[in-house]
Structure 1
Amino acid sequence: MTREKVLEEIIEGYRKTVSQRYQYQQIKNTYGLPETINEETVNQLREYFLTYMYPTPDKRAELNKAFDSLDDYIKHPQKLLRILLEAAKIIFKYGRHLPKILSAGLDAMKTFKAATNFENTMVDEAIKNKIEAPYDSVKVDALLKLLSREEIERFIESSQTLFEILHDKNLIKKIKEVIQFLITAMQKNPNTYSKSQIKGLEVGLEMITEGDLLFNRLSEEDQHKFVKLITAIERDTLNHIF
């Protein structure tokens, strides 16, 4: 089996474990939920994970292409900052806070890349240890156990960062405006910025916007509980494996 096929199988297997992990009744029985966090909200969270963090292999390949083209900007945000510094309006509006806003937006996008790196590490272990498809929950747990706990902790922290940013309504509003400005500015300069680079920002903006819509269903107090709940579920899964 080729590496690409192993990756596809692991993506599908891990998606199933995520889907199982975020079933409303199971979460309610294990952790308890306030009445305001209902089944529809939990279902939307699960779909958010499966759409933006653990998409299908075909969608993953499409998103990887977009984010790979944006990778240089994610690693060197000052290159994007230069575009923003050319706009008097946005400088006047956000001033010295602009680098922080841009950095937070890029941190939110890094969650997708973290998931990709996480899956590729599982592929390495599957090939090295001759663990073959199909990858059910038992095999997925076995693969995770071969990773270092620190590596998985970093992945969980990356996810937590995204949801903590989504919890900050004021910051999210600014991030969306700044990223949309970047998209518009880059679209006006097609000879300088590729379609893939613009697509990467568009996907990032979509991921942040959809997450914002999900959190907007909840009160500020319940948003805080939601972030803690997601972290607790992921850490308990980790503790179960190790």
Structure 2
Amino acid sequence: MKPKKETSKVLHHSLFPEFIQLYQNSLVSRYSKENLQNYPEFHSISEKTIHELLTFFLEYLYPSYEKRKKLDAAFDALSGFVNHPSKIWGILGNLALSIFRFGKHFPMALKAGMSALHSYVTAHSFEEELVLALDAQENPKTFLESNFAMEKLISFVEREKADAFRKDVCALFSIFSDKELVRKIVLIMEDILVKMESKQSLYTENDKNGISLGVSILKEGQKIFDLLKKEEMVLVLQAIDKIEKEFYQKACTRFRTK
């Protein structure tokens, strides 16, 4: 899914606090112990892993309104770097020197890092689709308070966009499962921060916070997979894909009228 713009429009929507609470509640329900009982193939995933996965969703993908406001400027800055990778190259400077410092896989690691963060950024554009659907309702505030409001909203989203969103989220977690790659990406981004600090007249506090946010996302995401075996990692990725896919499909079956 292609990000619409770097500055979040929905954050300033009058009903965004209620909307994000609805989204969080839906995530808690989807990854609850009760709902996971419907997926016997994922029973071997530990409660600890599910808890860490849900925490990541709630803290980084869809944080509370108050936290989102604090992160907004950093998120916009991160979006700017992700959507315009040349900015990163400008900070790092000489490619040959970077390869010498970080190894021959430096270009691949940097590209993978940008890809992971791009998935993070584009995941946020999905909420714009949902808020547009909310605005199309006769009484949006009353609609948010209705039963199955989240399912109804998501049923308005085109399948192509819903599929793209799900793939973005899965791509993000797929990067997290490669521990060595994430380690290299974090090293590179921390080096970018050091260079920013040395050129304070060129980079704003928001720029630095944006890169710091990227580092935090990568580190926190990797924690989910830190102690898992390869087959367990694959299972977690399959679980995310299937749970999100079925949530959308069931919503469409139940509420889509055409």
When normalised by structure 1's length, the TM-score is 0.90
Structure 2, gaps ≥5 residues long: 1-10, 253-258
What displacement does 1:4 show? Answer: 2.1
Tell me, yes or no, if structure 1 residue 138 matches structure 2 residue 153: no
Distance 1:136 1:154, change over 3 A: farther
Q: What value does the CA root-mean-square deviation take over the aligned residues?
A: 2.2
Distance 1:135 1:179, change over 3 A: farther
CA contact (8 A) 2:102 2:188 kept: no
Count of aligned residue pairs for this structure pair? 240
Match of 1:107? 115
CA contact (8 A) 1:115 1:155 kept: yes
Instruction: Name which of 15, 23, 35 aligns with 2:24.
Output: 15
Distance 1:57 1:112, change over 3 A: farther
Tell me, yes or no, if structure 1 residue 117 matches structure 2 residue 109: no
What displacement does 1:151 show? Answer: 0.9
Match of 2:213? 203
AA aligned to 1:18 is L
AA aligned to 1:101 is A
Instruction: Name which of 146, 157, 165 aligns with 1:155.
Output: 165
CA contact (8 A) 1:17 1:137 kept: no
Between 208-217 and 130-139, the greater mean CA deviation after superposition: 130-139
What displacement does 1:10 show? Answer: 1.0
Tell me, yes or no, if structure 1 residue 183 matches structure 2 residue 214: no
Give matches, 1:34-45, under 5 Å. Answer: 35=44, 37-45=45-53
Give matches, 1:46-65, under 5 Å. Answer: 46-65=54-73
What displacement does 1:41 show? Answer: 1.6
What displacement does 1:100 show? Answer: 2.6
Structure 1, gaps ≥5 residues long: none
What displacement does 1:126 show? Answer: 1.1
Structure 1 or 2: larger helix share?
Answer: 1
AA aligned to 2:223 is L
Distance 1:153 1:131, change over 3 A: farther
Report the identity percentage.
27
Cα distance in 1 for partners of 2:38, 2:131 equals 33
Give matches, 1:56-75, under 5 Å. Answer: 56-75=64-83
Instruction: Name which of 227, 230, 239 aligns with 2:240.
Output: 230
What displacement does 1:172 show? Answer: 1.0
What displacement does 1:25 show? Answer: 4.0
Cα distance in 2 for partners of 1:54, 1:63 equals 11
Distance 1:128 1:198, change over 3 A: same
Cα distance in 2 for partners of 1:179, 1:114 equals 20
Cα distance in 2 for partners of 1:29, 1:151 equals 26
AA aligned to 1:78 is S
When normalised by structure 2's length, the TM-score is 0.85
Partner-residue secondary structure (3-state), 1:193: coil
Cα distance in 1 for partners of 2:151, 2:43 equals 30
